[in-house]
Amino acid sequence: MVYLDLFLSFLKIGLFTIGGGYAMIPLISDTAVGKGWITEDLLIDFIAIAESTPGPFAVNVGTFIGIEVGAVGGINPPLLGQIVGVICTVMGLLLPSIIIMLTIYYLSKKLLANVHVQDAFRMIRPTVTALILAAFASVLYATVVTNIDLSSDETSFNWFGLVWFAVCFFLTFKPKVNAEKYPRLAPAVGVMNKIKLHPILLIILSAGVGILFYGFIL
């Protein structure tokens, strides 16, 4: 049954993902796209929507996938199937974290003081960093390189998307540089700090630029 598969799949994702929502992207992609529940393009759209809507990132993505899969899961009416799908994905994601956090809360002093647990976390941290970077690279590649077809010449490169990525990075990046220690960099640091935009404003601005460029210019 697809709903049981949804729950068990997202339970596995919630259990083996360490480092927050972004580290879940490779596992979610491997599971949801690999099983044919959604396409890679739709996953990219879900990630963009999840970034632009309130709530935890991973829960938002899981909710969208639950709605998509639950609608065709066989329960009538489809709305009820979507609700069940969302419950399966969200509970699968959250249940391992709830159980683990409650366990750590009651055993925190003994558990965190254990030398083997500390050694394990030392190796988990770089793994989490690699997963987040892999997710970033896959989303960036899918966004910039469009219509990928290795058997033909139809592959196109989204130059405007890459340029806008650089603009957004510049508008949100706040350099952690000691201007007094590096006086030559002080003017550049001051300019970047002054023009730094709030993420909400940048999301709204990006939506407007996307509508203008892709809807009217191209």
* Structural domain total, the chain: 2
Q: 151 lies in a domain? A: no
Residue 60 exposed, middle or buried by CB count within 10 Å (0-12, 13-18, 19+): buried
Where among 146, 170, 204 does a domain terminate? 146
Q: What angle do CA 213, 215, 218 make, to 5 degrees?
A: 60
pLDDT (tens digit per residue) in 106-138: 777 677 777 887 888 788 888 888 888 887 887
Mark whether 8 and 110 lie in a shared domain: yes
Mark whether 16 and 79 lie in a shared domain: yes
pLDDT (tens digit per residue) in 36-77: 898 888 888 888 888 777 778 888 888 999 999 988 888 888
CA distances from 23 to 41, 55, 91, 190 (A): 19, 17, 18, 33
